[in-house]
Amino acid sequence: MDIKITEELDNLLKDNGIKKEEIQEIIDNAESNGSKLEAIDGDLCIAKGCTDNLTMYAVYSPSELVDVYAHKMSILGLTGGELHDVEYDDSSDWKCVKCDEIALERNVDMTYMGVTRPGPGLVCPKCNEFYVSDGVAKTLKTAESILEEKRA
C-alpha cells in the first residue's frame, strides 16, 4: 500500500528522526501480516516497528499517514508479569488484527538508562504485543530527555 504523506507529517517524521522508507516498511509489514491495531469504530490503524534503540509507531488511515511517534525506552513487559484479570473495564477501542482480540489497557514496564517505571500500554491478550499511544510517547520522550540530561 502506497501511503500519502502530507508536508506536516513529513516534518513530524524528520522531528522524530524517522525516514519515509522506514515508516512505509512498518506499514507494509503490518498490512501483510496483520501485526497492527485497528480502531473498532473507525478506519485508523497503528503499526509498530523497532530498531535497536528506537520503537516507531505509524498511525494511518487507508489513504494517508495520520501520525508518527517514537520512543527510545524499551518495553520490558506487563507490570507485575502475568496478564491477570482486573476489576475495571480495561478493554480499549483498538483491536489486534492478527489475533482478532480487543487490546487491553494495561501498565507495562519501560526502561531507559537504568530507570524502570510503569506506563500505560495497549496489550493484545493473545499475542502479548505492546503498543503505546502518542500521548504516552510524548511523556516518554520528555522523560528520555531528562535522563539524557542527567548523564551529560
Partner 1 sequence: METIKNITSLCPECLAKIEGSKYVEDGKVYIMKKCPDHGVFITLVSNDADHYNLMEECFDVDRAGAKSSLTDVERGCPFDCGLCPSHKQDTCLAVVEVTDRCNMKCTYCFANSSMDDSLDPDMDTIRKMFETVKKCQNDPTCIQISGGEPTLRNDLPEIIKMGKDIGIDHIELNTNGIRISKDQDYFDKITSAGIDAVYLGFDGVSDDIYKQRTGRELLEVKKEVIKRCERAGIGVVLVPLVAKDYNLHEVGKIIDFAAERVPAVRGVHFQPVFYSGRSPSERENKVTILDLLEAIEEQTDGQLKVSNFTPSLMPHAHCGATCLTLIDNGGFLPLTNVSLGAVKSASDVASKTKKSIMGRWKGLEKEKESKPSCGDLLVKSSCCEKPLSDITVKGSCCEKPVTDVLPKSKPDMSGWADFIEMSKNNYLTISTMAFQDVWSYEQDRAENCCIHVVTRDGRFIPFCNYNMTSCNGDFLYRDAA
Q: How many CB atoms lie within 10 A of CB 35?
A: 19
Distances (CA, A) of 45 to 30, 59, 77, 95: 9, 6, 22, 9
Which x/- pattern over 93-112 shows residues binding partner 1 (rule: CB under 8 A)? xx----------xxx--x--
Task: Give the residue from 5, 38, 37, 6 showing the smallest Cα distance to 21.
Answer: 5
- Residue closer to partner 1, measured from CB, 34 or 120: 120
CB of 25 to partner 1, least distance (A): 21
The SS3 call for residue 28 is: helix
- Spatial CB neighbours of 22, under 8 Å, sequence gap ≥ 6: 49, 56
Which x/- pattern over 26-65 shows residues binding partner 1 (rule: CB under 8 A)? -------------x----x-x------------x------
- Residue closer to partner 1, measured from CB, 42 or 51: 42
Does 2 sit near partner 1 (CB under 8 A)?
A: no
The one-letter amino acid code at 150 reads K
Q: Residue 99 phi/psi, 5° resolution?
A: -95, -10
CB of 70 to partner 1, least distance (A): 13
Q: Which residues bind partner 1 (CB under 8 A)?
A: 12, 39, 44, 46, 59, 66-67, 88-90, 92-94, 105-107, 110, 113-115, 117-122, 133-136, 138-143, 145-152
